[in-house]
Structure 1
Amino acid sequence: AALAALGATLTLPGLAGFVLAIGMAVDANVLVFERAREEYAAHHRPTPRSALAAGFRNALSAIADSNITTLIAAGLLFLLASGPVRGFGVTLGIGVLASMVSALVITRALADLAVSRPGLRRRPHLTGIAHTGVVRDRLARGNPRLMRHPRRWLAASAAALVLAGAGIALRGLDFGIEFTGGRQVEYATATPVDPDRARAALADAGFPHAVVQTSGENRLTVRTGQLTTAQANAVGAAVGDLTSRADELRDETIGPSLGKELRRGALIALAVALGAQLVYLAVRFRLLLGTAAVAALAHDVVILVGVFAWLGKPVDGVFLAALLTVIGYSVNDSVVVFDRLRELTRHADKERETRFRDIAGRALQQTLPRTVNTGTGAALILTALAGFGGDSLTDFALALLIGLAVGTYSSMFTATPLAVVLQERRR
């Protein structure tokens, strides 16, 4: 409704903004319910209703920080970038505001109504709040000291960075049409043409990286790299074989200068957004934790680009949308861990002088169930999207799956160990 009111066009990067906003809304609910479980299990709250109220209260700071950092990035992308990156910023901003209302107002009202029912008061296990969950139980029994050797985690991250950098240096990046320029041809067809069939036909004709979109009723738009006259005729013949008649309506050449401008604007907007997030995190937490979070984010970007270089996948608008989504997920995860770290540090026993690495390990252990729950749900959706979404969404889902795995790992085992090492070096 907001997009319709603004007259905006929903593109694939815009869809990526919705994916991230929906993920953050789900994440906010998981944060609340995990905190409610903790309160009930610790016997601080005798009923599911009081535990739920405490969960909303204690999770509010983490939800607010993660959403505000994302809103800062979305606003700067809208102001400084252009094209699909700006569309990502618009839909992400709208989605984040809507998700905050749904998670903090609508979900709370519905959940409070549910736990107030007499049947659930007598049988609290039906709410899910009265048991701590499989992951939390196993962590409590095993009690792993996750930050016992923080430098080993950083060594693993450094090895992944070296491998990704080698892929970029040795294989290079295959920039898509959006960044290099090319040819755009629009056809009017006698019957509707399925874009997936058109992509397959063009791939068989020797154009595997062609971008195919429907642009209206019985309209098909094909974007490729620079074409000779013979290649342009081959594209027209491949489209013509899919329908009884295909008339060429428009044939335009996209200059590389537009791609360079888009790439430069995206990089500038991304750099400014990272700087703004660093400033906000430094104010809300400490400069040390903000630096660790942004460093983990840069780690995710390099690894995702390196994996696509090794796989030979094109770096195009689809990849750019996935990259921006991964950045949002990564910062969100780091904020959740650091919010718990800040809370535990505030309540640490000053006389015992508990070590920072022990507090960080406990914060990581307490937030791990939330990370597993949200990560598993997102992985199931993205796996289905990669398997059944068609050619246009396969690379998008693949990039998100890789980014989800790397971002989840880095928020726990890159950002947190880096914060521990920086803190001990400073001391």
Structure 2
Amino acid sequence: MSRDNARRGLLVRALIALGVLVASAFLLLTTDPRLGLDLRGGTQIVLEAKGDADAADRSMEVLRRRVDALGVAEPVIARSGENRIVIELPGVQDPQEAVKVLGQTAQLTVQRNGQTVMTGEGISDAQSTRNSQGAGFVVNIQFQGDAPAKWQKVTGEAACEPSGSPGRQIAFVLDGKPISSPEVSLDTPCGAGQAGGSTTITGRFSQPEAKELALVIRSGALPVPVEVIEQRTVGATLGAEAIEASAKAAIIGIALTSLFLMFAYRLAGFLAVVALAGYAGVAYAGLLAVGATLTLPGLAGFVLAIGMAVDANVLIFERAREEYARKPNLRRASENGFRGALSAIADSNVTTLLAAGLLFWLATGPVRGFGVTLTIGVLASMFSALVLSRVLVVWALGTRFVTKRPRLSGLHTLGFVRQRLSVVLYRRPSLWLISAGAVVLVAIAGLFARGLNLGVEFTGGRMLDFTAGGTVDSGRVRTALADAGFSDVVVSSSGNEVSLRTAPIDDATSARLGEVVSSAVDGGARQSSNELIGPSLSSELRRNAIIGLAIAVTAQLGYLAVRFDWRLGVATVAALLSDVLVLVGVFAWMGKTADGVFLAALLTVIGYSVNDSVVVFDRLRELRGSRLKASYPDVVSDAVVQTVPRTVNTGLGVLFVLSALLVLGDGSLANFAIALLIGLVAGTASTVVTAAPIAIWLESRWPRRAVAKKRPVGARA
């Protein structure tokens, strides 16, 4: 590439980077983030309509009127799939009243003598108003369609009955229970009935009573029954603590990662830190641009993506070091470093995007937000590394001041590890596989010895979390619950937090459990979250988790078979499966809860595991093409050794962030960090002890014929 073309390309990338940064800054200054209920506090209710999509649409409109009538600020009601309706009620900490109103799911009917004369679909409106002819309030009802004629007929028949007799009453019935049974007024003509398409219910109602009756009559006519299949309640205090913990983890993680990058790569590392700051702004602006809801797992995903964004820069800098070792020209080495690392960056990010896409498709609630955050984070990291970092590094390393001082760049040497590490790893690859198999067997033993502690997302039931003023004695809580008749409740505690897991129970029983826990803890306890998962949703989540893992494995295998070779694809998937088994087994041994957040961590580990193997196999493909007659195990060994700096440096970047999340977070946030730390170690090790040895074994059983490209006549090696 000529110098003019190189400068033109650099200018174009600089303008693109500037445009993206300006647009991001505008969004950051003008757009407020949309926080999920697990961060701002409130209640989420998921209803399932027992009918087709059209019935669900009509049900949603009825429920929308009910929600609006509750007077909750900024409620959200949306369709999820064909027949599910998600309702978010910010600030609602006691959802019992809301569930009571929303859960009145049967059709409103108008009955006389136990016989239905019309349904609620014939009612167009119902409003409470002060009684102009007496004390109290009344409810005015408007009819529509053929309902006025039906009302006139039934009131005409009822007017012929004597006053005080049951036949003179007309009942408004909901859920099989009469909500009002007014008697037809004495001034209604027998046989003629009440004409005009409206009526008034009197009865000396108080204002709240009349308002509630009007609400139920007006919005009570659901076309089909609906069932509450999921309910989550999170205290606002817990959400504020989660935001604070995530923010601190991000700051500490970025600070430690920045110091490490500058220590390892000097000026290039400093420029990468600047690009990393740009990445954080662009990623957050991307979330604002698409209107994504920030959830607790989503925040964790955002923090995690900061650590993973380091990977692309490390790949580029290590490649640039190799280029500089061949020919000491900083500008050209940095340009070639970006070009040479593009393939590995693209492949590794595609595998992560596959996992993020599965999370968005299969997950529900806050975990889906993690998939969105991770996707935007991966795309933003590619922009940061391939555009923003490239502009800064190529420009700075091309200046005369840095050119005369190559040691300042940080790319003047292959580094301590590459210069001193020279070892042949795979003289006996079977030993590596035996050791890997032993670790996997120990992990699997945990599933049989202790079993996996599944969360309510997968088992169904209710999960209650409480925060006390001091350390919680779980034995004392269990005794108190058993004395109160709740001996089957599963109790777990950590520090000043205690969690209860039960079979599906109603809100009244849930409130009673809270009273028992508060009485058993010194200083009392406040409820921080309340989650209900119905049996139908839990079975669906279990099915989706299995489908998600199967699709993840198949998708990774297919992609790698196309990009590399089926042998390397099988080796990578084998390492991936071992990582999954190790993570699940370790969680079983530790007694940790495998919930929806754990599923998010598991799919992320799959992406990270494949990411690590892709980098090694990308180098293997390159070395194999230039060393056709060399021993395949030796080539694999060299590929692993040459990518050690990338593995270590990237792993440290992610480790800093996850450690900060683990120390500062608690509950599901800490479990998320633990799962990813286990996956980080397992994914890094499995590439060396599982993927590479299996690739060697497959190559020995089904060798591939390597054909060298013919050089043009007169070309020199």
Same fold flag (TM > 0.5): yes
Q: Which of the numbers 406, 410, 422 marks the counterpart of 1:128?
A: 410
How far the C-alpha of 1:196 sits from its partner, in A, is 5.7
CA distance 1:249–1:283, shift in 2 (3 Å): closer
Quick check: 1:160 aligned with 2:450? no
1:336 aligned residue? 615
**Aligned counterparts, 1:404-415, within 5 A:** 404-415=680-691
Per-residue CA deviations over 1:88-133 (Å, capped at 9, x if unaligned) read 3222211111111111000111112321333211111111101221
Structure-2-length-normalised TM-score: 0.52
Aligned ranges 1:94-173 → 2 under 5 Å: 94-139=376-421, 143-173=422-452
Verify: 1:22 aligned to 2:298, yes or no.
no
In the alignment, does 2:285 pair up with 1:9?
no
Helix, strand or coil: the match of 2:293?
Answer: coil
What corresponds to 1:314 in structure 2?
Answer: 593
What is the CA-CA distance between 1:322 and the residue it aligns to?
A: 2.1
Q: Is the 8 A contact 1:77 1:273 kept in 2?
A: no
Structure 1 equivalent of residue 108 of structure 2: none
Q: What is the rounded CA distance, in whole Å, between the counterparts of 1:123 and 1:249 in structure 2?
A: 57
CA distance in 1, matches of 2:447, 2:463: 29
* Letter in structure 2 aligned against 1:225: T
Pairing 1:28-427 to 2, within 5 Å after superposition: 28-41=312-325, 44-139=326-421, 143-183=422-462, 197=468, 205-206=477-478, 209=492, 224-226=501-503, 231-235=513-517, 237=519, 241=523, 253-348=532-627, 350=628, 353-427=629-703
Larger deviation, residues 387-396 vs 322-331? 387-396
Give per-residue Cα distances to partners, 1:142-173, cap 9 Å, x unaligned.
x2101221111111110011111111111111
Q: 1:382, 1:253 → 2: CA distance?
A: 29
Aligned partners of 2:295 and 2:369 also within 8 Å = yes
How many Å separate the matches in 2 of 1:250 and 1:272?
Answer: 32
CA-atom RMSD, angstroms? 3.1
Deviations 1:287-342 (A, max 9, x none): 11011111101100000111111111111233222222211211100000000001
Is this contact kept in 2: 1:210–1:224, CA < 8 A? no
Rounded Cα–Cα distance in structure 2 between residues aligned with 1:160 and 1:185 = 35
Greater share of residues in strand: 2
The DSSP-based 3-state class of the residue aligned with 1:414 is helix
Deviation, structure 1 residue 46? 2.1
> Kindly tell me: are residues 421 and 249 of structure 1, through their superposed partners in 2, closer, same or farther at Cα, counting changes over 3 Å?
closer
Counterparts of 1:250 and 1:422, CA distance in 2: 50
SS at match of 2:462: strand
Distance 1:274 1:18, change over 3 A: farther
Partner deviation per Cα, 1:5-25 (whole Å, 9 max, x = no partner): 433322233234334533332
Counterpart amino acid of residue 275 in structure 1: T
Q: Return the alpha-carbon distance in structure 2 between the equivalents of residues 16 and 272 of structure 1.
A: 24
- The structure having more radius of gyration, on CA atoms, is 2
Work out the number of aligned pairs and report it. 401
- In 2, distance between residues paired with 1:392 and 1:69? 25
Cα distance in 1 between the residues matched to 2:528 and 2:652? 46
Change (3 A) 1:295 1:20: farther
Once the 2 structures are TM-superposed, how far is the Cα of residue 182 of structure 1 from its aligned partner? 2.7
Aligned residues of 1:334 and 1:415 also touching (Cα < 8 A): yes
More off after superposition, 327-336 vs 110-119: 110-119
1:239 CA displacement? 9.4
Worse-superposed segment, 13-22 or 371-380: 13-22
Note the alpha carbon deviations across 1:216-258, whole angstroms, 9 max, x for none.
xxxxxx8743476753422455799568xx7x99987532332
Q: Is residue 62–residue 336 contact of structure 1 (8 Å, CA) maintained in 2? A: yes
Residue 80 of structure 1: how far off its partner (Å): 4.0
* 1:354 positional shift: 1.5
Deviation at 1:60, TM superposition (A): 0.5
Asked if the contact 2:468–2:521 (Cα under 8 Å) also holds between the matched residues in 1, the reply is no
Secondary structure (helix, strand or coil) at the match of 1:183 reads strand
In structure 2, distance between residues paired with 1:251 and 1:367: 46
Instruction: Report the Cα distance in structure 2 between the residues aligned to 1:400 and 1:251, rounded to whole angstroms.
Output: 25
One-letter amino acid of the counterpart of residue 420, structure 1: I
Structure 2 CA distance for aligned equivalents of residues 337 and 7 of structure 1: 37
Q: For 1:23, give the aligned amino acid.
A: G
Give the distance between the partners of 1:99 and 1:202, measured in 2 at CA: 45
State the AA in 1 paired with 2:310: V
1:16 touches 1:322 (CA, 8 Å); kept in 2?
Answer: no
After superposition, give the CA deviation of every residue in 1:19-73 in whole Å (9 maximum; x if it has no partner).
45333321000000011111112xx232222111111111010001111222233
Work out the percentage of aligned pairs sharing the same amino acid.
Answer: 57
Cα gap change, 1:277/1:14 in structure 2, threshold over 3 Å: closer, same or farther?
same
- Equivalents in 2 of 1:250, 1:386: separation in Å? 20
In 2, the alpha carbon distance for the partners of 1:33 and 1:271 equals 35
Q: Give the CA deviation at 1:81.
A: 4.0
For the 8 Å contact 1:174–1:313, the answer to whether it is kept is yes
**TM-score, normalised via structure 1 length:** 0.84
Q: Which residue of 2 aligns with 1:215?
A: none
- CA distance in 1 between counterparts of 2:464 and 2:634 reads 61
Alignment partners' CA distance in 1, 2:376 and 2:600? 16
2: CA distance between counterparts of 1:287 and 1:85? Answer: 32
- Measured at CA, do residues 180 and 240 of structure 1 come closer, stay the same or move farther in structure 2, by a change above 3 Å? farther
Q: Judging changes above 3 Å, is the alpha-carbon distance between structure 1 residues 114 and 151 closer, same or farther for their aligned structure 2 residues?
A: same
**TM superposition shift of 1:414:** 1.0
Q: Label 1:313 to 1:198 Cα distance change in 2 as closer, same or farther (>3 A).
A: farther
> Match for 1:130: what amino acid?
H
Could you list the runs of 5+ residues in structure 2 that have no partner in the other structure? 1-284, 479-489, 704-717
C-alpha separation between the residues in 1 aligned to 2:463 and 2:491?
15
